[in-house]
Structure 1
Amino acid sequence: MVRKMGVYAVLGYILYGLFFYWYLFYFSDTNLPFEYEGSKADPSTFLNGRELMLSEEYSKIRNLLFFLSTPFEWLFYFLILLFGFSKAFKNWAENSSKYKLLQTAIYLIWLSFFAYLATFPLSYISFSLSKTYNISTQSFASWMKDELIDFWLNYGTWLIIVPVLYWLMKKSQKRWWLYGWLLSIPFTLFMMFLQPVVIDPLYHDFYPLKNKELETKILTLADKAEIPAQHVFEVNMSDETNALNAYVTGIGSNARIVLWDTTLNKLTDSQILFIMAHEMCHYVEKHIYFGIAGYLLISLLGLYLTYRIMNWVTKRWGNELKISDTRDIRSLPLFFMVLSMLLFAASPITNFTSRYQETRADKYAIEMTKNPEAAITSFQELTRSGLSQVNPPLLVKVFRYTHPSMLDRISMLENYEIKHRKK
């Protein structure tokens, strides 16, 4: 039975991968609808033939890697349970220490290490792909440094969460999910507060914007939006990527507006001001706080469903998966697998909400700057630098895109330009 379940799981993953390969490379149509041909959203009007070819190739491969990566984690955790590795990790931990907390730490390091090894090939392929298409300028050593920081940050975070989670399971088998969620609220807020000043600087160097003339323009815009901003931060990304970006991070007094230096190097002041006005909308309309509230709501539902699914799976296939009780640390791979599945299933909803907020920010920015030409050309440059698809396939948009497609964004701006040109 165990061997059969393993074979079915692997075959299911292969069929899933073949479906998405067929969907992305043969079935989906990324050509622009007829009515958009020749418009400013048409990539053939601002990309040359080579850039058009590369953007299609790169996007298809990158999207395939995305759809392969998350279900591969599910397969890994399933096989870890099925073939008794989780039980072995627990035995190694118990033989290494008599202290419960240290046993959990040892179990977790084994599980984390094997998970990292299993997912490393796909991560490396993604890194190599971005290097091949000249998106990434990062050296392998620098990339490995970031990978190791990710590994230890994730390990440290789970080392805090897992002992508390399983302690709650033993104290309250039926309500642990609720108590765990209540504890996650201050933890989430604390981590978001720390993000800009503790976690982000582990990866990159942040400093106040060097171009003081541009900073004055941005702060004038912020004052117009009634934002009490004193600094705009830039981050050194040119050693790692040719892509462009700007974002808002953190909460409360630690909230920051951040510009990549690649954005500063490739865009004009008027284009940057549009992007800054976009980011200011997230602050003005409190999108960060709505995002936190939405995340906490989804996490409450997710933990409850995880509790129900874990109990159901353990009762039905506990013997095959070597799990006698969900309160046993051996069930942790099942917890990770179910949680990941639920997050993936929820991504169409979270992405839709994010796209709505980003559309609001685009409209706010163009109303504030009233410079559609700068806005349109900034999005065209973002498309070129990231080799993005202007009109992505439906499933890619639904499961991947937290921002509207460039077709939607540029078309909206072009309509604004036409409408105000007539006045």
Structure 2
Amino acid sequence: MHAVLALLAAFPGLAHAAATFDVDHAAQLYLATLSAPAKARSDAYFEGGEWLALWGTLISVALCWFLLRVRLLPKVRTAMHRRGWRPWLGVLACALVFIAADTLLSLPWTFYTSYWRERQYGLMNQSVGAWLGDQAIGLVLSAVLGSVLLLVIYAVIRRYPKHWWLIGTGVVGVTITALVLITPVFIVPLFNTQSELPDGPVRARVVAMAKANNVPSEHIYLVDASRQSDRISANVSGIGPTIRISLNDNLLKQSSVAETAAVMGHELGHYVLGHVWRTIVVLTLLMGLLLWLASRIAPALIRFGGQRWDVRGLADPASLPVLAGVLSVLSLLATPMTNTLIRVDESEADAFGLDVAREPDGFASAAMKLSAYRKIAPGALEEMLFFDHPSGKTRVYMAMQWKKDHVPNAAEVVPPPLPEPKP
């Protein structure tokens, strides 16, 4: 305490700033940049999304029930058996048919949630044709990667009927790791073009921050995300040889150098703090819990369905709709847990980004720009249950507190109003 008093005595300007800078008032100046109509629209969009998660799960369960009632997969299984095909080919066929049927049957719902609703709120730039093209690519990816994963999972179920969920957890962990590895290099380019970020103030800031924190920065990629929407985004993705720094063209076009530096400092924080590996481990363990629960619930449902479903046990690939439906419900129930785990990482990255970029006003301004699709000031319970990132209000207050604590003679900034959302 004596040391602190001595420091304040030696630097009276610092003491004055700490005493006069009002964190609450400075934060309110940023929050006031969002007009009442824009805030109402943002709140409606986000709150509607909370209900979409519930309705989406109910629709998923209903589709699984429908596929069981029409015995689609038992017919595929029986046909493969009559032709004398190997059991693993039967699993592969059931997996492919299920993925295709589920995708096509849920297409109207997907169209509403991912295209029509996004367009209503001015968040979609694609035509229907371009959107369908991306959906087709996604279907092919799901069919290839999903069928291989299910092939392995069902092989484990057959070989270890009592403890399949434990080995399955390891399979899921390997799968998540593999996806993190290949996504930046092989999957993202299927949807968007990536090019080198041009030389300039933004690249110079990003390279300087990356080098100071030992983040690989030989390549910094610019992604043409504006072909889909106007959302700003950036990341440090991949692991090992595929690690890369990326930002989308919306961030570059819509943000100042200070705002972009604040965002990129946050993203660098994920890499430096090891969040990728921690997320892989945590999500794998959580999936292990869900698989354990599914290993208890799914067999009981199969016994309940009996001859009506023609499913002969969990090892039967025709049980896939049962397993998928159970995991859909369990995943929904686990949402508050997953949101909290991700939100902790995001908050840590926020603190890291403020320390690295030293742009508290840029950080606050960037946080406000996310109000186009994130409710800016939720209640504490709502933020805990439904937010996988800190809310805009939380972030603005964090930035202003950092400014008071770290910027000598900190002064309030009166930011300009945010532009009104697109009709």
TM-score bin (small chain): 0.7 to 0.9
**Other-structure match for 2:395:** 409
Structure 1: gaps (5+ residues):
1-34
Tell me, yes or no, if the aligned pair for 2:76 and 2:90 is still in contact at 8 Å: no
How does the TM-score come out when normalised to structure 1?
0.83
Match of 1:120 among 104, 107, 111: 107
Query: Does 1:359 find its partner at 2:347?
Result: yes
Query: 1:189-242 CA deviation, whole Å, 9 max, x = no partner?
Result: 222211111111111111221244421221111122232322221100112111
For residues 233 and 90 of structure 2, the distance between their equivalents in structure 1, rounded to whole angstroms, comes to 42
**Other-structure match for 2:74:** 87
Query: Does 1:52 find its partner at 2:39?
Result: yes
For residues 76 and 395 of structure 1, the distance between their equivalents in structure 2, rounded to whole angstroms, comes to 32
Deviates more, 1:72-81 or 1:182-191: 182-191
* SS of the residue 2:246 aligns to: strand
Pairing of 1:195-344 with structure 2 (within 5 A): 195-344=183-332
Cα drift, residue 420 of structure 1 = 4.4
* SS of the residue 1:40 aligns to: helix
**Other-structure match for 2:4:** none
* SS of the residue 1:190 aligns to: helix
The structure with the largest alpha-carbon Rg is 2
Structure 2: gaps (5+ residues):
1-21, 410-423
Query: 1:272-321 CA deviation, whole Å, 9 max, x = no partner?
Result: 11111111111111011111111221222222222222223334443454
Query: 1:316-360 CA deviation, whole Å, 9 max, x = no partner?
Result: 443454323111111111111122222222221121111111111
Cα drift, residue 108 of structure 1 = 2.6
For residues 43 and 71 of structure 1, the distance between their equivalents in structure 2, rounded to whole angstroms, comes to 39
For residues 202 and 98 of structure 2, the distance between their equivalents in structure 1, rounded to whole angstroms, comes to 48
Could you list the structure 1 runs, at least 4 aligned residues long, displaced by more than 6 angstroms after superposition. Answer: 35-38
* Cα gap change, 1:414 to 1:398, in 2 (>3 Å): same
Relative contact order, CA 8 A, sep 6+: which one is greater? 2
Cα drift, residue 408 of structure 1 = 1.0
**Other-structure match for 2:96:** 109
Cα drift, residue 125 of structure 1 = 1.0
**Other-structure match for 2:174:** 186
**Other-structure match for 1:73:** 60
* One-letter code aligned to 1:188: I
Deviates more, 1:213-222 or 1:99-108: 99-108
Tell me, yes or no, if the aligned pair for 1:177 and 1:303 is still in contact at 8 Å: yes
Tell me, yes or no, if the aligned pair for 2:77 and 2:317 is still in contact at 8 Å: yes
Cα drift, residue 262 of structure 1 = 0.4
Tell me, yes or no, if the aligned pair for 1:93 and 1:107 is still in contact at 8 Å: no
* One-letter code aligned to 2:300: W
* Cα gap change, 1:179 to 1:388, in 2 (>3 Å): closer
Tell me, yes or no, if the aligned pair for 2:370 and 2:392 is still in contact at 8 Å: no
**Other-structure match for 2:159:** 171
Cα drift, residue 80 of structure 1 = 2.2
Deviates more, 1:167-176 or 1:86-95: 86-95
Query: Does 1:130 find its partner at 2:139?
Result: no
* Cα gap change, 1:167 to 1:117, in 2 (>3 Å): same
Query: 1:106-141 CA deviation, whole Å, 9 max, x = no partner?
Result: 323332222112221121112111112211111111
**Other-structure match for 1:371:** 359
For residues 57 and 358 of structure 1, the distance between their equivalents in structure 2, rounded to whole angstroms, comes to 24
Q: What is the number of equivalent residue pairs in this alignment?
A: 387
For residues 79 and 320 of structure 2, the distance between their equivalents in structure 1, rounded to whole angstroms, comes to 15
Identity of aligned residues (%): 22
* One-letter code aligned to 2:155: W
* One-letter code aligned to 1:378: A
Cα drift, residue 146 of structure 1 = 1.1
* One-letter code aligned to 2:91: T
For residues 140 and 380 of structure 2, the distance between their equivalents in structure 1, rounded to whole angstroms, comes to 36
For residues 164 and 368 of structure 1, the distance between their equivalents in structure 2, rounded to whole angstroms, comes to 43
For residues 200 and 230 of structure 2, the distance between their equivalents in structure 1, rounded to whole angstroms, comes to 24
Query: 1:39-96 CA deviation, whole Å, 9 max, x = no partner?
Result: 6357761123442332233333333323311232122213322453333343455467
Tell me, yes or no, if the aligned pair for 1:274 and 1:375 is still in contact at 8 Å: yes
* SS of the residue 2:192 aligns to: coil
* One-letter code aligned to 1:353: L
Deviates more, 1:222-231 or 1:288-297: 222-231
Deviates more, 1:413-422 or 1:187-196: 413-422
RMSD: 2.6
For residues 287 and 79 of structure 1, the distance between their equivalents in structure 2, rounded to whole angstroms, comes to 40
* Cα gap change, 1:187 to 1:207, in 2 (>3 Å): same
Deviates more, 1:354-363 or 1:76-85: 76-85
* Cα gap change, 1:235 to 1:58, in 2 (>3 Å): same
* Cα gap change, 1:396 to 1:117, in 2 (>3 Å): farther
